[in-house]
Amino acid sequence: MFAINYNPVLSFLDLVQQQQQQQLRQQFQPKISKKVETEDEYQIHIFKPYGDFNSYEVRALKSQNGLVKLVIESEPDNFQATVSFSLAEIDLQEINWLYFRAENTLVLRIPKKQKVCYPQFYFPGCVIGNEREQQRDDRLRQAEQAKLNARRESEERVRREAERARREAERARREAERARREAEERARREAERARKEAEERARREAEQARRAAEEKARKEAAQKQAEENARKEAKAREQAKLQERKERIRREAEARNAKAQQEQFVEQLLQNFFTPFLSQVSQAQAKNSEEKVTQNNESSSSPAPVPAPAPKQPSPRLDANDDNESVQSEPLTPEVGSPKLEAKDESLDLHKHPSLEEVEDEEFVMFRKKFEQ
């Protein structure tokens, strides 16, 4: 089934339009504007707003009691009008048309047989006959006048209805126009509000994106800086460790060299010191052995006296230790901080002890005097 979309405003506007069209048709429809009686003739004026009168014609219909009906009609304009006259009053053969172009009015001229004018009547039906015919004509005129009045009242009523409908339509049109403008204004405000909200939302999102990008860039820069600092610190630590390892290797090498020189010096010193001592001891032992041999030989001949205990000799080991301690108490390692090998050799030369050959005479003489006591 189809749904019927009923709109009261549109229905009312259609009704008003139909009434206006009907009113326009009535206004533009041909009509008898006036009826005029002169001394010579009757005149029936037919007015029409536009168009020609080529289709208009008049017919005479004879009726009873000596009356004749003049029927004016036009089929294209849907127009028809009837007027009654006494056959003895008018001349049917002389009826003719007169056209006024300026007013676009067609006049039907009906000549009289008698040149008489009745001022008391407007378009009277000049009746010649008895009283009954005159009364009938009066009733016809009254009926026609009543019909004319009714038509005028109907036209006035239709005009008032059309005017009221026009005013209602105008009011409805104004209401519809006002509603349309209000709807357009509301739509415009809604669109403006939506546009502002969209712009504000886009601005906030752009601001958030910008801040996020700045924060990300800041974090990345901080991370890069931290990585760079860590790399520099690691490199510095590696350099420090490498420098420390080089310094330790250098110190260990210097210590080994110093220890080797010290051991070489002590060894040379001990060799130079104990060589004459051992020779003297060996000579003393040989002398003692010879004396013992001599005494044994003498004792074999005579009893030998008990020899007195020989004085206890000082331990040369202690002297050597004393010398070693004196040597060790001296500074053995060169001064730390010389980066080059030439400087290290020079420092070692500065701390180098004199050789045994240089002090051989003095040392030998000193110890020799000691053993001669």
- pLDDT band at residue 132 under the 50/70/90 scheme: low
For the chain, what's the residue count? 373
CA angle 191, 195, 198 (to 5 degrees): 135
Q: Which residues pair with 96 in a beta bridge?
A: 109
Encode pLDDT of 323-356 as tens digits. 444 434 444 444 444 444 444 444 444 445 444 4
pTM check: above 0.75: no
DSSP helix/strand/coil, 9:
helix
CA angle 214, 216, 217 (to 5 degrees): 65
Q: Which residues pair with 70 in a beta bridge?
A: 60, 83
63 phi and psi, to 5 degrees?
-120, -175
Higher local confidence (pLDDT), 287 or 42: 42
Place of tokens 């003692």: 288
Task: Kindly state the tokens that stand for 10.
Answer: 């549109």
Residue type, 257: N
Task: Kindly state the tokens that stand for 49.
Answer: 């707003």
- pLDDT band at residue 72 under the 50/70/90 scheme: very high
* CB-based burial label for 80 (10 Å; 0-12, 13-18, 19+): exposed
Asked if the model's pLDDT at residue 207 lies above 60, the reply is: yes
What CA–CA distance (Å, rounded) separates 258 from 349?
A: 11
- pLDDT band at residue 129 under the 50/70/90 scheme: very low
Q: Where are the extended beta strands (E) located within the chain?
A: 31-37, 41-47, 57-62, 67-74, 79-86, 96-100, 105-111
Average pLDDT over residues 238-267: 89
* CB-based burial label for 44 (10 Å; 0-12, 13-18, 19+): buried
Asked if the model's pLDDT at residue 46 lies above 80, the reply is: yes
Average pLDDT over residues 230-245: 90
What CA–CA distance (Å, rounded) separates 191 from 183?
A: 12
What CA–CA distance (Å, rounded) separates 235 from 218?
A: 25
CB neighbour burial string for 176-201, b if at least 16 within 10 angstroms, e if fewer: eeeeeeeeeeeeeeeeeeeeeeeeee
pLDDT of 183 reads 92
CATH 2.60.40.790 fits 8-129, yes or no: yes
What CA–CA distance (Å, rounded) separates 133 from 353?
A: 189
- pLDDT band at residue 262 under the 50/70/90 scheme: confident
DSSP-derived secondary structure letter, 112: B
* pLDDT > 90 fraction of the chain, expressed in percent and rounded: 21
Encode pLDDT of 3-26 as tens digits. 455 566 667 777 777 777 777 666
